[in-house]
């Protein structure tokens, strides 16, 4: 994290790969007034924010925890952690 700016430094390759995987589920997520945003993407860790109706949705663990995690892990097999935070 760049402490002066308060932002995470992104790994370009990881960011591009994760963005591509999010695009695969984006139409379904947007149809339900939800969204996902990349907050951090390093070679070891990805942190994603669940937004809109996805935050607190009982189906989020399936959509994100199973489907999107699998896509991301296939695209970035060296990742050690995928985390989610909720943003209303």
Mean pLDDT of 5-32: 85
* Integer Cα distance of 5 and 51 in angstroms: 23
Lowest model confidence (mean pLDDT) among 60-64, 70-74, 78-82:
60-64
Q: What is the pLDDT of residues 24-42, one digit of tens each?
A: 999 989 999 999 999 999 9
- Listed by start position, the domains of the chain span 12-87
Closest CA to 27 of 40, 36, 18: 36
Looking at residue 87, the DSSP 8-state letter turns out to be E
From 15, 69, 77, 60, select the one nearest 42 (Cα to Cα).
15
pLDDT of residue 9: 64
% residues pLDDT > 70 (the chain): 89
First-to-last CA distance in the chain?
24
β strands within 1-88, DSSP E: 34-41, 45-52, 81-87
CATH code reported for the domain at 12-87 = 3.30.300.130
């Amino acid at each position: 994290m760049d402490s002066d700016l308060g932002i995470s430094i992104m790994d370009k390759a990881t960011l591009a790969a994760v963005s591509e995987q999010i695009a695969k589920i984006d139409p379904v997520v947007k149809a339900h007034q939800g969204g996902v945003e990349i907050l951090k993407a390093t070679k070891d860790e990805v942190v994603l924010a669940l937004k809109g109706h996805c935050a607190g949705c009982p189906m989020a663990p399936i959509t994100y925890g199973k489907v999107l995690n699998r896509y991301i892990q296939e695209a970035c097999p060296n990742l050690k952690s995928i985390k989610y935070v909720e943003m209303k």
